[in-house]
Amino acid sequence: MRGVGAVALGACAAIPAVAQASEPVRTVFGTLPDGRTVEEVTLTNGKGVTARVISWGALLRTLEVPDRAGKPADIVLGYKDLASYLDKPNYFGASIGRYANRIRAGRFTLDGQTYTLATNDGPNALHGGTAGLDKRLWTITEVKGGATPSVTLRYVSPDGEEGFPGTLTVTATYALDAANTLTVTYQATTDKPTIVNLTNHSFFNLAGEGSGRSVLDQTLTIPAERYTPVDATQIPMGEHVPVAGTPFDFRTPTVIGARIRDGRDIQIVRGRGYDHNWVVTDKPTAEPHLVARVEDPASGRVLEVASNQPGVQFYTGNFIDATVVGKSGLVYRQSDALAIEPELFPDTPNQPAFGSARLDPGATYRNVITYRFSTSSAHRTHEK
């Protein structure tokens, strides 16, 4: 698996330095209806990459990255104002949990006790419920400057919140280094046995969120030989199926739009495109490994995503339906961006063959996600 990933990286040029280094800037982003303040922290690495993180949902609001000519563009979907995040959040840039992805029928059993969650995605629970971590105000606990500026946010989810057992203390740290890598580290501890699966739900468009271009002409590599097909409600059926010979084979760089409408595959029909989990490793690893690589041939921007988690959910924004206006004034539509969510497999608490999502007192859950940016030197032809 790692060998496939190494081949997929290709030759890339460093992003030219086009900005001055600066210390993190902490400002007020908005005020919640109950009067609480939502803050924003801006991280700049001096190489032209700038990230802005807000305390509502511990979310990544903007991420500016230069193209091969050094021209920066914001490459993540989002809004200009807090009211839009409250009205139609769409998980844009948010920290997701307590359990990212889906849980069948919103139920799971732990130590003989059955827990019931909100069913907010048809018959299933999705992304932690109706008011998951993405819809909570986190506390900024630390802002660091220097060579790798960072911000750490914290949220304490009380026992029983959204139906989950145990008081869960969660931290999210965003750190931006001089090598143009944004690292997001999630950690969690609990005071009694529970389940946890955290991830980041940024929607990326390497052409720029205000470019008016979809992601269908961009190329994707996922170094996985298997994926988990789903039933009609998007719950995995328990199998790890080879990607070979299917529209889910991204082991070599492949144009995203090449097979996204292949109605001969029932999985494409059920997902309305891509909304599936790939099996990159069988279990979490000690160190991050490559889970996906995306390249926009036109701008030259390249994104490599790594994580210590075994699965990656690749989603092409199939339910973004032109009902929201983004921060550049454009209406967001299907395939205007893609999400790459490193995490445990969906519905793991109900599928023992998938491993375990259990977290016990005294243990620490950890998901380290790295987003490394570079540029390709020239246009390249990929499989169509």
Q: Which residues are catalytic?
A: 201, 341
Structure tokens at 265: 């595959």
Cβ-based neighbours of 352, under 8 Å, separated by 6 or more: none
141 strand-pairing partners: none
Instruction: Please report, as a single letter, which amino acid is at residue 112.
Output: G
Cβ-based neighbours of 87, under 8 Å, separated by 6 or more: none
Query: Is residue 4 within a helix (H) or strand (E), and if so which, with residue range?
Result: helix 2-8
Structure tokens at 40: 């924003």
Rounded Cα–Cα distance for residues 230 and 271 (Å)? 8
Cβ-based neighbours of 187, under 8 Å, separated by 6 or more: 170, 171, 364, 365, 366
CB of 55 within 8 A of CB of 188? Answer: no
| Chain position carrying tokens 């018959």 | 123
| Rounded alpha-carbon distances, angstroms, from residue 334 to 64, 119, 343 | 22, 24, 23
Three-class HEC string of 38-90: EEEEEEECCCCCEEEEECECCEEEEEEEECCCCCEEECECCCCCHHHHHHCCC
Question: What is the DSSP code (8-state) at residue 272?
Answer: T
Instruction: Find, among 238, 325, 255, 350, the residue nearest to 294 by Cα.
Output: 255
